[in-house]
Chains A and B, each alone.
Chain A
Amino acid sequence: MRWTVCADRLDWGLIGLEVAERRKWCGDPAVPEGDELGFVGCAEDLDRSHLERRLRSAGFDPFAVPVVVLSEVDRSEPDRVRALLSAAGARSRHYPGSRPEHLKPVMPRVTSRRSLFAFMSPVYRSVPHPDPSTCGAGDGCRACVDTCPHNALEWSNGIVTHDRLACEGCGRCVAACPAGAMIDPRFTPSQLEAEIGGLLGAHAAPTGILWHCSRGAAPDPTPGWHGVAVPCVGMLMPHWIIGPLLQGAAAVAVAECNCGIEPDSDGRASAAVAAARRWLSAAGIGDAAARVQGGAGASPLRDGLPIRSAGIYGAHGAAVLADALGAAVWDDDLAPLGVISIDQEACTGCEMCATVCPSAAVESTGDAGKLELWFEPSRCTACGECVDRCPEDGAISLRRAVDSRELRDGRRRLVAHEVARCVKCGGSVAPKAALHRIASALGGDAALIKQISSVCLDCRGTTMVF
């Protein structure tokens, strides 16, 4: 990474990094030719929209280029500056690229008299958008739609449409998506992991990670702690909060949400913090309150946990964390994993649960006159889509829990149904339980019931059963 830095407010000789120093760079942010560029400006002076225009002129995606803005406090600590640059560089290398659908234009507030007759250049915010190649909307999943507090997402005919102007970029849909298909290009799991790794790798002393909201002002730096921005703290799940501890952080905390866009964000974040502590306690980590603190610097930092793991912020990160933390049984309303069970008597084998499951935790297999439904606990994110879409009351139930016994045992069979055979070709007609259900719904029409239950779909048009 070739860093171009503003040399107005900082003596870069003290930092000990190879950088290109430029006087007055913040006021006139020139972009040099070449690739792998990064910039460091001063919080007080940098005109970011001007820099973004220059970056576009030079052919760069402004979201891809790391721009570190140093505050007065940051500049007083060379270690801190090195860590911030290391983290920004690492994050940039994991930038996945954005699509036009990820960019929301926002008009800055109009303040000047002149601007009454003029159009302000928009600034751009990244917003999440579903990746159609992995999105489960085609099979009926609406997890993102159900969680959006701004009604910016809509499900119609198997497609999720996204109203960018209504979207506030809170990121809750990203956290809720069981398939990891909802992508905000500035906050992908691999970027977060790389950024936290960069911050922690730059310090030998115990370091804390403070999650904070990207849409409000960053919290004032606390010695020994580094901030990591997420779209909003209201999106944080227990395993995300715990995640930095398994990357070597001594402690984690969540800053108060100061953007005020979703009033319930602080309540959600507090609940997730409490759940993270309960999970750690259930896993036998005694000092959970010191590891997941009430605020940055609430209690002294000690050495990090002796456990390490990667991939905690992805769609199946909760299972990765559960595996790393070891034996634990934690039943909780906020547990990010689920355990499915099916009542053999109530289930008709319609396979709706397997069809709709966006993370392929429930699957169906059919062989030799038998239909089986299988469950893979490490893939279940407790989204509840299977329960919501099941047409039979009480046939399927979800237990929100991290259960290491289930995870250890792995894939298991939920239910098996005998399948009726076609009297003409011998192929499959339907599970017998489903045919009984249809028969009871049709009442006494014996001829129709016999026709439906005796021949398969392929033969139904050409075969009459008497």
Chain B
Amino acid sequence: MIEDTELARLRQGCYRVLSAGYGRPSVTRVEQIGAGVAALAAMGLDSFAYAPSVWAWVTALQGTPIGMVATEHVRLFGSGVDGALVAPVESQRLGVNLHGDPARYAARIEDVMRRAGVELRNDDKPPDHLLVELELASALCGAEAADRAAGGDGSRWLEMQRELIDVMTRWIPGFASEVADRDTCGALAALAAATEAFVIHESDMLRLLLAETRGGSR
């Protein structure tokens, strides 16, 4: 059994650690990810169905030379050398190629940020980049945890999380499948698979949590 606040913290940590996976790979980052997942395990990660895919990612990441992961990271998520680009950007996957369309997606995320009172400090990534979306969801879970710890039901933050996750579930499965096809080192395919498993689980989990909040079943 997990305390409600602890569950929010666990989910916050999962978003955070997955988000770290989309940053530039380095030895330090791999160590931090390993430590982060170990901390999540202590919080009850293995109670949830996505846990094996998170473990599979950490195992793949730690078992692959960092230079190879870094090269593949650039090839897939950066410059897209030899046509392998799989942009981890929402508007690139859902938007149509019309003037102003990508901005619509970015504006939606920025709107959630504004309402949540958070801002993007590092502007080398667009607001609808997967790394940013995962960080934002992590911040929302953190706010939910704080609200619950103060005696609230976290519903305001759950609603915002749901706004994010409803759209993420529409594009992340396709993204994960393309990464699986193009990744040659295995670590990034495992990361995308873990992200997909977690996001799909989150869409159901948020509905369950919101139903409890609204229905007052407890």
Q: Which residues of A contact B (CB under 8 A)?
A: 49, 53-54, 56-57, 59-61, 100-101, 103-105, 107, 110, 114-122, 124, 164-165
Contact = CB atoms under 8 A, between A and B. Distances in A.
B2 interface: yes
B204 A120 contact: no
B52 A122 contact: no
Contacts of A110: 217-218
Given A59-B52, A60-B52, A122 B47 contact: yes
A156 to B, nearest CB: 12
A313 to B, nearest CB: 26
Interface string B60-79: 00000000000000000000
Contacts of A119: 1-4, 6-7
10 contacts: A56-B46, A56-B47, A57-B55, A100-B49, A100-B201, A103-B201, A104-B204, A115-B218, A117-B4, A118-B1
Contacts of B44: 121
Contacts of B167: none
Contacts of A49: 47
For B1, B49, B204, B218, which residue has the most chain A Cβ atoms within 10 angstroms?
B49
Contact of A124 (B6, B7, B49): B49
B197 A100 contact: yes
A105 B4 contact: no
B108 interface: no
Nearest to B207: A165
A57 to B, nearest CB: 5
Nearest to B205: A105
B179 interface: no
B47 A121 contact: yes
Contacts, number: 73
Contacts of B48: 56, 105, 121-122
B196 A115 contact: no
B204 A164 contact: yes
A61 B52 contact: yes
Contact of A100 (B200, B207, B218): B200
Contacts of B208: 105, 107, 122, 165
B56 A105 contact: no
B15 interface: no
B49 A165 contact: no
Interface of B: 1-4, 6-7, 41, 44, 46-53, 55-56, 59, 196-197, 200-201, 204-205, 207-208, 217-218
A116 B196 contact: no
Contacts of A121: 1-2, 44, 47-48
Given A59-B55, A165-B207, A100 B196 contact: yes
Given A61-B52, A105-B208, A121-B44, 14 more contacts: A49-B47, A53-B46, A56-B46, A56-B48, A56-B51, A59-B52, A60-B52, A100-B196, A105-B205, A118-B1, A119-B6, A121-B48, A124-B49, A165-B208
A121 B208 CA distance: 12
Contacts of A54: 46
Contacts of B51: 56-57
Contacts of B3: 117-119
B204 A105 contact: yes
Contacts of B196: 100
B171 to A, nearest CB: 14
A101 to B, nearest CB: 6
A100 B204 CA distance: 11
Contacts of B1: 114-115, 118-121
Given A117-B3, A121-B1, A101 B52 contact: no
B52 A118 contact: no
Contacts of A60: 52
Contacts of A117: 3-4
Contacts of A122: 47-49, 205, 208
B52 A105 contact: no
B47 A53 contact: yes
A207 B183 CA distance: 51
A104 B201 CA distance: 8
Nearest to B50: A100
Contacts of B200: 100-101
A381 to B, nearest CB: 28
Contacts of A101: 200
Closest 4 A/B residue pairs (Cβ): A121-B47, A100-B200, A100-B197, A56-B46
A1 to B, nearest CB: 20
A96 to B, nearest CB: 16
B177 to A, nearest CB: 10
B2 A59 contact: no
Contacts of A56: 46-49, 51-52, 55
B183 to A, nearest CB: 18
A255 B190 CA distance: 43
Given A114-B1, A121-B1, A105 B201 contact: yes
A80 B120 CA distance: 63
A120 B56 CA distance: 25
